C-alpha cells in the first residue's frame, strides 16, 4: 500500500511506519547525537547525516508523519510556529511586496510589520475573507500572500482556491497558516496554496507540552522552498529531538482528538448560540456564520476546536464569566486536550478585539460537562 491510499488515522497511529530498527521496538527511539561518524576512507557513514544542525532522524520521523497528513511534497519542522513563519518571510526580497490578512494571530502581525519596515518591504493588510478587497490588494505585483484559515481569533474563512488564483496572478506565492484546522481537517495545498504552515504547538502536538512549527510545500524545487531549507540549516532554527519525539507520539492520536474536539466544539457553539448571556458566537460550524458554506467545502470532518464568544454586558461581564469557569483553564494558546478560555483584549488591547470577546479552545473532555460549566458561568 502506498502513502496515498492510507487515511489520516492510519498514517498517524502508525507514525508513518516509524519503528526502532535497532531494537525492533514498535516505538522509535530518540536520536540525541549532534554529530555523525565518518569511515576510515573519510566518507560519511550515512550521507544524509553529518551534523545535528539540521540533520536528525527523530526530527525526520515527525516531518514524515506531517508530510503524509498534509499531502505535501516536502515538510520541515521548526522550534516554534513563529520560527516557521519568520523563515518563510525571510525569503521575501528587500524592497519586495507582501499581502497579509488583517486580524490574524497577533504575534505574526506584529513581527511581519516590524520586518517589513526594516527591510523596505511594502505591506498591504487586507481582510482576506472579503474577495473584492483581496482582489484589489492583489492587483499590484507581490512576492507573498499570507492568509490564516480559519483566522485566530476572528474565525474568518478565506477562500483558499480564490486566494491562490489571485496570488498567482500577482506573481506571488500563497502561504496559508492552517493552525486552527490542522492537516487533518483541511488540505490547502490541494486547493492551490504553495505553502502551508502550522503552529504544531497547538492541536498537532495537542498535549500543551511542546513548542513547534511546521512548513510544507507543493513544489520542493521552487526557489522559496530551497531558501527556507538553506535558512533552517544555516540560521539554525531547528527542533530538538526530544520535542520531535513527543510530537510524533502526540500525533498518533491527532485524527482521533480532532474528531472529539470538533464534536465538542460544535456542541458548545450550538449551546452558546442564542444563549441569553451571549451576544454572538464566532464559529464556522454554525449555519449563521458568514463562512459556514465555504468552510464546509474547504474542511472535512468538522470545523475545528477554536471559537470566540461575545459576552453580553461588556468587558466586566466577559471577565466575570471567564473567572467563574471551573473546567476551562484561563490561559493563552489553543489546541490541547484540555479546554482553555482567554480574554483576548487583555492580551492585545490595541488591535480592535472587542472587550467582551472570550476565545475558547475546546478540548476532549465530555461535552456535557463543558456545557454545564459554561451554563453556570453565564448565569452565575
What are the residues binding ligand PLP (CB under 6 A)?
80-82, 105, 107-108, 148, 152, 177, 179, 199, 201-202, 211, 213, 334
Nearer to ligand PLP, 92 or 181 (CB): 181
Q: What CA–CA distance (Å, rounded) separates 355 from 334?
A: 20
- Report in angstroms how near the CB of residue 246 gets to ligand PLP at its nearest: 14
Buried residues in 128-158 as b, exposed as e (16+ CB within 10 A)? bbeeeebbebbeeebbbbbbbbbbbbbbbbb
Residue 275 burial by CB count (10 A; 0-12/13-18/19+): exposed, middle or buried? middle
- Look at the block and give the residue holding cell 526502532: 20
Q: Is the peptide bond before 54 cis (omega within 30 degrees of 0)?
A: yes
Measured at CB, which residue is nearest to ligand PLP? 81
- Please state whether 152 falls in left (phi above 0), alpha (psi between -120 and 50) or beta: beta
DSSP 291: T
Nearer to ligand PLP, 146 or 225 (CB): 146
Nearer to ligand PLP, 105 or 245 (CB): 105
Nearest to 75 by CA among 83, 64, 85: 64
- Report in angstroms how near the CB of residue 200 gets to ligand PLP at its nearest: 7
- Look at the block and give the residue holding cell 519542522: 77
- Report in angstroms how near the CB of residue 49 gets to ligand PLP at its nearest: 27
Distance, C-alpha 226 to centroid of its chain: 22
Nearer to ligand PLP, 65 or 85 (CB): 85
- Report in angstroms how near the CB of residue 347 gets to ligand PLP at its nearest: 12
- Report in angstroms how near the CB of residue 86 gets to ligand PLP at its nearest: 9
Q: What CA–CA distance (Å, rounded) separates 337 from 105?
A: 21
Residue 233 burial by CB count (10 A; 0-12/13-18/19+): exposed, middle or buried? middle
- Report in angstroms how near the CB of residue 255 gets to ligand PLP at its nearest: 20
Neighbouring C-beta atoms of residue 23, cutoff 10 Å? 10
Residue 11 burial by CB count (10 A; 0-12/13-18/19+): exposed, middle or buried? buried
- Report in angstroms how near the CB of residue 155 gets to ligand PLP at its nearest: 11
Nearer to ligand PLP, 202 or 289 (CB): 202
Nearer to ligand PLP, 32 or 110 (CB): 110
Nearer to ligand PLP, 107 or 354 (CB): 107
Amino acid at each position: 500500500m502506498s502513502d496515498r491510499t492510507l487515511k489520516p488515522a492510519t498514517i498517524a497511529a502508525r507514525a508513518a511506519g516509524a519503528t526502532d530498527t535497532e531494537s525492533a521496538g514498535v516505538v522509535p527511539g530518540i536520536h540525541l547525537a549532534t554529530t555523525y561518524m565518518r569511515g576510515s576512507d573519510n566518507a560519511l557513514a550515512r550521507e544524509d547525516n553529518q551534523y545535528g544542525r539540521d540533520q536528525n532522524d527523530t526530527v525526520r520521523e515527525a516531518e514524515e508523519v506531517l508530510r503524509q497528513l498534509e499531502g505535501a511534497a516536502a515538510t520541515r519542522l521548526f522550534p516554534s510556529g513563529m520560527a516557521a513563519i519568520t523563515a518563510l518571510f525571510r525569503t521575501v526580497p528587500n524592497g519586495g511586496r507582501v499581502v497579509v490578512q488583517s486580524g490574524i494571530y497577533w504575534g505574526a502581525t506584529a513581527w511581519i510589520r516590524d520586518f517589513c519596515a526594516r527591510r523596505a518591504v511594502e505591506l498591504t493588510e487586507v481582510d482576506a475573507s472579503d474577495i473584492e478587497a483581496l482582489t484589489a490588494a492583489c492587483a499590484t505585483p507581490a512576492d507573498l500572500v499570507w492568509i490564516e484559515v480559519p483566522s485566530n481569533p476572528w474565525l474568518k474563512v478565506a477562500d483558499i482556491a480564490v486566494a491562490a488564483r489571485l496570488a498567482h496572478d500577482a506573481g506571488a506565492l500563497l502561504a496559508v497558516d492552517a493552525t486552527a484546522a490542522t492537516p487533518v481537517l483541511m488540505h490547502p495545498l490541494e486547493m492551490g496554496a504553495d505553502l502551508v504552515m502550522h503552529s504544531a504547538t497547538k492541536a498537532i502536538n495537542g498535549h500543551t507540552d511542546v513548542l513547534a512549527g511546521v512548513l510544507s510545500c507543493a513544489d520542493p524545487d521552487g526557489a522559496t522552498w530551497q531558501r527556507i531549507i538553506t535558512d533552517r540549516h544555516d540560521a539554525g532554527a531547528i527542533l530538538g529531538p526530544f520535542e520531535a519525539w513527543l510530537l510524533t507520539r502526540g500525533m498518533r492520536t491527532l485524527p482521533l482528538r480532532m474528531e472529539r474536539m470538533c464534536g465538542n466544539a460544535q456542541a458548545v457553539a450550538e449551546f452558546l448560540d442564542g444563549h441569553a448571556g451571549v451576544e454572538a458566537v464566532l464559529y464556522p460550524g454554525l449555519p449563521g456564520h458568514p463562512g459556514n458554506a465555504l468552510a464546509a467545502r474547504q474542511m472535512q470532518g468538522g470545523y475545528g476546536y477554536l471559537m470566540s464568544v461575545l459576552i453580553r454586558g461588556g468587558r466586566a461581564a466577559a471577565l466575570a464569566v471567564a473567572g467563574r469557569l471551573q473546567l476551562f483553564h484561563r490561559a493563552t494558546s489553543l489546541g490541547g486536550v484540555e479546554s482553555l478560555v482567554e480574554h483576548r483584549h487583555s492580551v492585545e488591547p490595541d488591535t480592535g478585539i472587542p472587550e467582551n470577546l472570550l476565545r475558547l479552545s475546546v478540548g476532549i473532555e465530555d461535552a456535557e460537562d463543558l456545557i454545564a460549566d459554561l451554563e453556570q458561568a453565564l448565569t452565575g
